[in-house]
Amino acid sequence: MPSYNPPLRDMQFVLHEVLQVTDEFKVMPPHAEIDADTINAVLEEGGKFAAEVTFPLNISGDTEGCVLDKSSHEVRTPKGFKEAYAQYVEGGWAALSCDPEYGGQGLPFVVNQCFYEMQNSANQAWTMYPGLSHGAYEALHAHGTPEQKRLYLPKLTSGEWTGTMCLTEPHCGTDLGLLRTKAEPQADGSYKITGNKIFISAGEHDMTANIVHLVLARLPDAPQGSKGISLFAVPKFKVNADGSLGERNPIYCGGLEHKMGIHGNATAQMVIDGAVGTLVGEPNKGLAAMFVMMNAARLGVGNQSLGLTEVAYQNALAYAKDRIQMRSLTGTKAKDKPADPIIVHPDVRKMLLTARAYAEGGRAMACFCAVLLDKELHHPDEKVRKESAELVALLTPIVKAFITDNAWTATTACQQVFGGHGYIKEWGMEQFVRDARINMIYEGTNTIQSLDLLGRKILGNNGASLKKFGKLVAQLVEAEGVNEKMAEFINPLAYLGDQMTKFTTEIGFKGFQNPDEVGAAAVDYLRVAGHLVFAYFFARMASVSLQKIAAGSTDPFYQAKLQTARFYFAKLFPETASLMRTARAGSKVLMDTDAVFA
């Protein structure tokens, strides 16, 4: 059986020593009184919930899966899921970072981010039930009417109800401009929604009394394409004016998808047969409202893969220390045993260090983005709010695509550490691999994220957002450039920072002449950008570690951090050179291939 230990020490390092979040919070009125002890106490309890409540249900939930009663359209979740969710609600975890006006605890979003990383390590399938509710909450909080907020937000905040996002249809995925679901206005101001949605995570379950579906649909006079999409709140059970539940709304699960992974989460085919809904935001501007939820989901998917990377690493490390096979190439290490532990072998260490580096780099970037969201929402300076929003928009596709790609690499590497046992279910590794694979696809495939980054977030504003992140890199390089002990971390970061401007300009110029050039370069470009961000944070983490050691700390944590950073820059970061070369190879070898596909 696998095990899980919440990485509290590394979270505390990132939050308090690298990002210094409490200093950031002091200028934000809602969070000014929050101190490190409070954050640490919350995360310690959150870690216990993950390790003791949801993690033991991970393998059993995957084995059992969800069951649909086709006569009632009700879905039964795996044994223990409902009871774990009741504990989650009772513990107040759903309300952690929600607005106190609706019953929330008002803690910073970054605390919620770390809590959810631990839940995703413990049990991604279970965590998706409450996780999706946060996106629904954010969309309604930002764009809902006063009546919608009054009816839905307190219940979503408490966790008594959950939420979903209903976008995809059988004939269209990311291209939402093709959707066909219809919304017919009614005399009372409501709408009757009719259509079919697929791949709806947590679309039906037995864990809460009601589910609030946010549904994209078209009004009768809507323009064609994405400019004619509206957003509607469509509850499973209609909600009376006093907040009590009314009759069943005709939005129901017509089937469950039989997936490669995350079996414990109900991925539903939703049939909407004249269900009553209310308009969220303005007519034909639903995509803007839904993007609040979609962007939250994209950061959430990156967080899912961060969690899987961490738990896969922990278990592969424990196995490598225990499993004996062959002798070290440099001579016997375990003289009292017939063979040495496999952790003595260089390539086993490479696989383990790859997973560790991707977990630690991903954690730093994810927490940084969460702090940016806190600043966007609560910083008193409008300029800071705007710049924070711009930076998090730039980094969102990187969080989603780079971390999920890395998790696929990391979980398969950790499975490889187990050898043949990596394919055996009770070790847990094959489940981590299967669950990680889907994260590269949903909430916009990673290619879509790459196009969004290069086409919209960078070339779309002539590199202005990239330059803002470049300033952070330049500031770090200037501060640490004369520190000889930092040279091995700063020099490659500075070099890539300089190259990035030229690289981006070159791809942009070629794309101006032929848009296929952007499509051909985008995936490679995003990975280069991802490494720029990771290199920045590994350099910052190395700097803090060196300062602590220089001040006399003997905590082995700091030496381990430096060794991980050295591995990252030596073995993973050099990928950027080949990526830039393949990105520059252009689109011709891809598009002039009609003979191949004839």
In whole angstroms, give the CA distance from residue 355 to residue 118.
16
In whole angstroms, give the CA distance from residue 331 to residue 439.
42
Joined together, the tokens standing for residue 60 give 């059993």
- From the centroid of its chain, how far is CA 459? 24
Phi and psi for 386 in degrees, rounded to 5?
-65, -45
User: How many CA within 13 A on the CB side of residue 138?
Assistant: 21
User: Sign (positive/negative) of CA torsion 380, 384, 390, 392?
Assistant: negative
In whole angstroms, give the CA distance from residue 567 to residue 74.
50
Query: How far is residue 176 from each of residues 170, 173, 297, 301, measured CA to CA in Å?
Result: 11, 6, 16, 20
Joined together, the tokens standing for residue 93 give 């975890």
In whole angstroms, give the CA distance from residue 73 to residue 58.
25
Strand pairing partners for 239? 245
The residues near 262 (Cβ < 8 Å, ≥ 6 apart) are 124, 125, 128, 434, 435, 438
Strand pairing partners for 162? 211
In whole angstroms, give the CA distance from residue 487 to residue 491.
5
In whole angstroms, give the CA distance from residue 314 to residue 356.
9
In whole angstroms, give the CA distance from residue 122 to residue 116.
10
- Cβ-based burial of 237 (10 A; exposed 0-12, middle 13-18, buried ≥19): middle
DSSP 365: H
Task: Based on the residue annotation, tell me whether 443 is a catalytic residue of this protein.
Answer: yes
Q: How many CB atoms lie within 10 A of CB 161?
A: 25
Joined together, the tokens standing for residue 454 give 């290069």
Joined together, the tokens standing for residue 240 give 């009376």
Q: How far apart are the first and last CA of the chain?
A: 50
- Find the catalytic residue in 204, 310, 376, 443: 443
439 three-state secondary structure: helix
54 three-state secondary structure: helix
CA angle 409, 60, 137 (to 5 degrees): 75
Give residue for tokens 């260089």.
346
In whole angstroms, give the CA distance from residue 535 to residue 364.
11
Do 51 and 5 touch, CB atoms closer than 8 A?
yes
Give residue for tokens 């046992």.
421
The secondary element (H helix, E strand) that includes residue 115 is helix 109-143
Do 297 and 167 touch, CB atoms closer than 8 A?
no
In whole angstroms, give the CA distance from residue 142 to residue 156.
14
Residues with a catalytic annotation lie at 443
